[in-house]
Chain A
Amino acid sequence: DQQVKQNSPSLSVQEGRISILNCDYTNSMFDYFLWYKKYPAEGPTFLISISSIKDKNEDGRFTVFLNKSAKHLSLHIVPSQPGDSAVYFCAASVGQGAQKLVFGQGTRLTINP
């Protein structure tokens, strides 16, 4: 049973517009959520995170929103740039100091000029 799901395998957005990537989870014990970005032939790199005590975290062009009641989080990228084209993974963890991350299957984002 997949505890973290990214239901859109791909997303195509025009340069300059907003990209919204979605992630759903089933385990209500998750209390920390992260987004990773992966380019081909490279490992995933950490992008942004959010604790369950917050509902929004912003870092430059990237904002993550958390809706605990819906068990849903989203990553907003605005404005989208060609360099944002990559695979984005959502991940979640349980418990203070937890070391295990549960990943979604990823969404491939393509930014069109």
Chain B
Amino acid sequence: ETGVTQTPRHLVMGMTNKKSLKCEQHLGHNAMYWYKQSAKKPLELMFVYNFKEQTENNSVPSRFSPECPNSSHLFLHLHTLQPEDSALYLCASRSNRALFYEQYFGPGTRLTVT
């Protein structure tokens, strides 16, 4: 595997379910991100982790719970979601030593809450 991978690619869940999204980066980066992309809206930053420590929580509801066990893996635990949480969830990573600010994105998980 190369780059940033995300599983599952598609997820349908009921409002009472608990599920988790997984992200793995194979780039040796040390910063990881969760973004939400809703239809016709900009990508919204949710969480930032640097060296496994959360450095940004963009006022995300507590029904979204991130976990970063190491610099290569990032999870987003979901529980009691609402239909408006249906969106594309993108993971990204970046090197803190990079000269430029580019982030590398995974393919995303398309989440549908029923």
- Residues of the B chain whose Cβ atoms lie less than 8 Å from the Cβ of A105: 40-42
Residue of A nearest to B92 (CB): A43
Residues of B62-114 at the interface with A, using a CB-CB cut-off of 8 Å, are 90, 92, 94, 96, 100-108
In the complex the two chains form, is B107's CB within 8 Å of A41's CB?
yes
Q: Chain A residues near B55 (CB, 8 Å)?
A: 99
In the complex, whether B21 has a CB less than 8 A from a CB of chain A is: no
The reply to whether A43 and B42 contact each other, CB–CB distance below 8 Å, is no
Whether A42 touches B103, Cβ cut-off 8 Å, given contacts A89-B43, A106-B42, is no
- Of the candidates B6, B48, B90, B104, which one forms a contact with A99 in the assembled complex, judged by CB atoms under 8 Å apart? B48
Q: Which residue of chain A lies nearest to B33 when distances are taken between CB atoms in the complex? A: A99
Within 8 A of A (CB), among B1-23: 4, 6, 9
Q: How far is the CA of A102 from the CA of B45 in the complex (A)?
A: 8
Q: Which residues of A contact B45 (CB under 8 A)?
A: 100-102
Interface size on B, residues (CB 8 A): 26
| Complex Cα–Cα for A83 and B96 (A) | 32
Assess whether A45 is interfacial by the CB under 8 Å rule: yes
Q: Is the CB of B101 within 8 A of A103?
A: no
Which residue on B lies nearest to A43, using beta carbons? B105
Give the distance in Å from the alpha carbon of A42 to the alpha carbon of B3 in the complex. 12
- A49 at the A/B interface (Cβ < 8 Å)? yes
Name the B residues within 8 Å of A98 (CB-CB).
101
Instruction: Output the least CB separation between A67 and chain B (Å).
Output: 20
Separation of A24 and B43 alpha carbons in the complex (Å): 16
| A residues with CB within 8 A of B | 2, 4, 9, 32, 34, 36, 41-46, 49, 89, 93, 97-106
**New A-B contacts (5) at CB < 8 Å, excluding given A43-B4, A99-B48:** A36-B105, A49-B101, A98-B101, A99-B94, A102-B42
